[in-house]
Amino acid sequence: MEIIDTDIAIVGAGGAGLRAAIAVAEADPSLKIALISKVYPMRSHTVAAEGGAAGVIKGNDSFDSHFNDTVAGGDWLCDQDAVDFFIREAPRELTRIEHWGCPWSREPDGHVAVRPFGGMKVERTWYAADKTGFHLLHTLFQTSLKYASIERFDEYYSTDLMVINGRCHGVTAIEMRTGQMRLFKSKCVIIATGGAGRVFPFTTNGAIKTGDGMAMAFRAGAPLKDMEFVQYHPTALPGTGILITEGSRGEGGILVNKDGYRYLQDYNLGPADPWPRNKAMELGPRDRLSQAFWHEQKKGRTISTDHGNVVHLDLRHLGEAKINERLPMVRELSRSYVGVDPVYEPIPVRPVVHYTMGGIDTDIDAATSVEGLYAAGECACVSINGANRLGSNSLTELLVFGARAGRNAAEAAKHGIGATDDRQIQAAAQAAEDRVLNLFRKTDGDESISGLRREMNEAMEAGAGIYRSEDTLRASTETLQQIRERYKNILLTDKSNVFNTDLVEALELGSMIDVAVAMACSALQRKESRGSHQRLDYPDRDDSAYLKHSLARYSATDVPAIDYCDVTITNSQPGERVYGGVGE
Amino acid sequence: MSVRVSELEILRYDPEQDEAPHFQTYTVPCHDDWRVLDAINYVKDELDRTLTYRWSCQMAVCGSCGMAVNGEPVLACQTFVRDYPQKIRIEPLQNFPVERDLVVVMDDFIDKLESVKPYLVPKEEKEVDDGEYLQTPAQLAHFKQYTACINCLLCYSACPQYALTESFVGPAALALAHRYNLDSRDVGRRVREDVVACNSGIWECSFVGACSDVCPKSVDPAAAIQQTKIASTGDYFMKVLMPWKRK
């Protein structure tokens, strides 16, 4: 097996991975960086983020306000030391990317413009029209080309972390063009592989978001934290699940049910002012808005379509000029995919799985419990998002913690890692290759990859959706364990070494099943309702028992063991989450 | 929802097994609102696990699923089956080597993208704590259109000049160089000039405009190239007439 010697291996070249790579390159140009991704960097799903990135910059705003919005938005499950670091670093990171050329939308005087966003008391979301993630990703990718020490390995699918005696020494990856396994021997590994929305059937997430990095770290001994918290975005197109940005509500869009009624006022989010009021109505947090949809649907007040029930997002009162300036992509997407021009008609929308708040357990330094292993971005849980992420915090998060992971990994790499036993690393790499080869060469088995994937999707939808309960979660957990068993019986049809997507999809499915099991088991164990995790059988938040992060630990044979660790609380004692007029 | 049976004729090529590319036909029950990508995904999931292509976002922003549908370079996620009442012929993008089936080798494009130095060369160095560079909405509007490129390669596939001359830097990379050249915060035009204004750069373009016709993001690379030609001509005369003006 070809060995690639490097100092820092970064898995994932989306926003967090690219930011980490640049941070390493700037910290110490002599460090060799291998930036490994299963896709070309600009294909990474950061590209699909639309609305913006939060950071305090205006005179009417304060760090305290961003801190309080984030902690309350997360239903007090955020680690407050991490949030504090995050909100202070946010404007610096957003300014840095401005210095790198990001085409942020501007005010008439040339300063960066901000827009309101859900759950944020003050407008603090920087935006580049409604293509913020796209611009951020391309700016990072293009900027990364300046640094000679960043060597990219595009279209390499990472399979296993080389963890020996609790220390990470690298990662193995399949070069997709040749089908050959490579060992990246490194002093540190940073995982930046994004979320796992694809474990659900309806998601805004692209096909690549299969939780590979989460599963890889999980299997290598790093726990997955708070996996029960999955965000439904309240406004996506039916059928395709294409995201319609929260920015459209930030600009003044309203949500109405089949009677044209702004139903959010019935869910403690009113009053229904004709003007946008921050932290109220359509600018409430995503968990509350998605839950309100669920109730409206139960009451029969949604609109039925071929692709399930919808409500209407009405932007018409914004007028064509504003829609074209601030929300061009929303217009383009609505016209292309549902044949609706939002200048003249309301857009049909429904809640769709969007973001995994949980992820690889990291501390405030972006370090995992495995020495030499770091994680940042959606794949990590640091945790600034707690039980519900506020829109526009995640683009900022991948910059802040991507940079932090890069700097800390660079520091660790400079100090060396002591003696390593190459034979042990190579043996681990060989085992990883054998696992893939066995799957590749296997001639027996009667389970299909697409069939099992569909069953996994259905089990997650049935048991771990917007509202959950003991019996549905238990049923889903059992189904998922069976799927995990049946996975051993899959058979590949494609036997080519060249760009074998049958093989990659099989490996992705393995990752997704492990992540799905962690989500369902964590959700089953949390007998309370908090943020995005709503239990019909335990409708209240229970701070005495569950003001804790869950930690799922991998077992090769059994369901993951779930234990808990404390939430870091500094300034903000848990209180009631209040939105709408009463929150003023 | 109505379902219509479509015939998909897809170009297949596995360098390990095939001497030459060949077409394979699949019969797919397509829903009315399906995109070509949905139909291809159906083939992959239900009919043939060996079919190989790239895709991800399904919302025309990641740029992965560029392919030729009935000869036209398009994004498969933004092209609807209902617009093709007859047979749908699907091929890899033209002008690139085929890696396998609908997957093309992108190395040449990536090299060209890198060659134009597509990053900000700042007019003044500024510390992060000193805040952002100011840029008015009008200054932003001046280059905004050229920031919208998703690197989907459709323009290279459509470009007759790239088909003839592989060394041509090509539409997307030249448009990106132009994007930075026009940015009020940037002074990198001189650094980019070697690649952009040489014979394999803008002067290779014969202004057919096919790139702009197929661009799914209305970037209009043809306009970027023509504007760059004008700017470079200006540079040339400046150099000849007022050599002292140039550092």
State whether residue B97 sits within 8 Å of chain A by CB. Answer: no
Residue A43 among the catalytic residues: no
Contact A110 B100 (CB under 8 A): no
pTM of the predicted model, to two decimals? 0.97
b/e sequence A524-550, b meaning 16+ C-beta within 10 Å: bbbebbbbbbbbeebeebeeeebbebb
State whether residue B229 sits within 8 Å of chain A by CB. Answer: no
Please give, rounded to a whole number of angstroms, the shortest distance from the CA of A240 to a CA of chain B. Answer: 8
What is the SS3 string spanning A127-143?
Answer: CCCCCHHHHHHHHHHHH
Q: Which pLDDT does position B247 carry in this prediction?
A: 42
State whether residue B151 sits within 8 Å of chain A by CB. Answer: yes
Q: How many CB pairs under 8 A join A and B?
A: 151
Please give, rounded to a whole number of angstroms, the shortest distance from the CA of B214 to a CA of chain A. Answer: 16
Determine the 3-state secondary structure of B83 from DSSP. helix
**What ipTM describes this predicted complex?**
0.96
In whole angstroms, give the CA distance from residue A165 to residue A280: 51
First to last CA, chain B: 66
Pairing of strands A467-468, A534-535: parallel
Residue A66 among the catalytic residues: no
Cis peptide before B184 (omega within 30 of 0): no
Please give, rounded to a whole number of angstroms, the shortest distance from the CA of A175 to a CA of chain B. Answer: 13
- Taking contacts as CB-CB distances below 8 angstroms, the residues of chain A near B134 are 109-111
In tens, the pLDDT along B211-242 reads 999 999 999 999 999 998 888 887 777 777 76
For an interface test with B, the pick among A106, A177, A208 (most B C-beta atoms closer than 10 Å) comes out as A106
Task: Round the average pLDDT of chain A to a whole number and report it.
Answer: 97
State whether residue B21 sits within 8 Å of chain A by CB. Answer: no
Beta bridge partner(s), residue A183: A3, A172
Cis peptide before A271 (omega within 30 of 0): yes
In whole angstroms, give the CA distance from residue A203 to residue B41: 16
What is the strand order of the sheet A125-126 is part of? A53-54, A125-126, A114-115
- Phi and psi at residue A127, in whole multiples of 5°? -145, 155
- Asked whether residue B245 carries a pLDDT value surpassing 60, the answer given is no
- For A103, which of B57, B136, B140 is closest by C-beta distance? B140
Domains and CATH numbers, chain A: 2-231+355-423 (3.50.50.60), 233-352 (3.90.700.10), 425-560 (1.20.58.100)
- For B63, which of A42, A242, A493 is closest by C-beta distance? A42
Please give, rounded to a whole number of angstroms, the shortest distance from the CA of A199 to a CA of chain B. Answer: 15
In tens, the pLDDT along A201-256 reads 999 999 999 999 999 999 999 999 999 999 999 999 999 999 999 999 999 999 99
State whether residue A109 sits within 8 Å of chain B by CB. Answer: yes
In tens, the pLDDT along A1-60 reads 999 999 999 999 999 999 999 999 999 999 999 999 999 999 999 999 999 999 999 999
At B243, is the pLDDT very low, low, confident or very high (cuts 50, 70, 90)? low
- For B56, which of A98, A207, A329 is closest by C-beta distance? A207
Residue A355 structure tokens: 């973001």
Q: Point out the catalytic residue in the list A45, A66, A152, A249.
A: A249
Please give, rounded to a whole number of angstroms, the shortest distance from the CA of A506 to a CA of chain B. Answer: 11
Q: Which residue of A has its CA nearest to B131?
A: A95
How many CB atoms are closer than 10 A to CB A186?
27
State whether residue A535 sits within 8 Å of chain B by CB. Answer: no
β strands within A296-393, DSSP E: 303-305, 308-314, 347-356, 359-361, 373-375, 380-381
Q: For chain B, how are helix, strand and coil distributed in percent, rounded to 5?
A: 40, 15, 40
For an interface test with B, the pick among A177, A498, A508, A509 (most B C-beta atoms closer than 10 Å) comes out as A498
Q: Which residue of B has its CA nearest to A339?
A: B33
At A536, is the pLDDT very low, low, confident or very high (cuts 50, 70, 90)? very high
Domains and CATH numbers, chain B: 3-104 (3.10.20.30), 107-245 (1.10.1060.10)
In whole angstroms, give the CA distance from residue A559 to residue A524: 12
State whether residue A177 sits within 8 Å of chain B by CB. Answer: yes
In whole angstroms, give the CA distance from residue A551 to residue A560: 9
CA dihedral (A149, A151, A157, A163) positive or negative: negative
- The residue whose two tokens read 């407008």 is A123
- Asked whether residue B244 carries a pLDDT value surpassing 70, the answer given is no
Task: Round the average pLDDT of chain B to a whole number and report it.
Answer: 94
In whole angstroms, give the CA distance from residue B29 to residue A541: 48
Q: Which pLDDT does position A335 carry in this prediction?
A: 95
- For B136, which of A43, A95, A106 is closest by C-beta distance? A106
In tens, the pLDDT along A148-160 reads 999 999 999 999 9
Q: Point out the catalytic residue in the list A45, A182, A233, A286.
A: A233
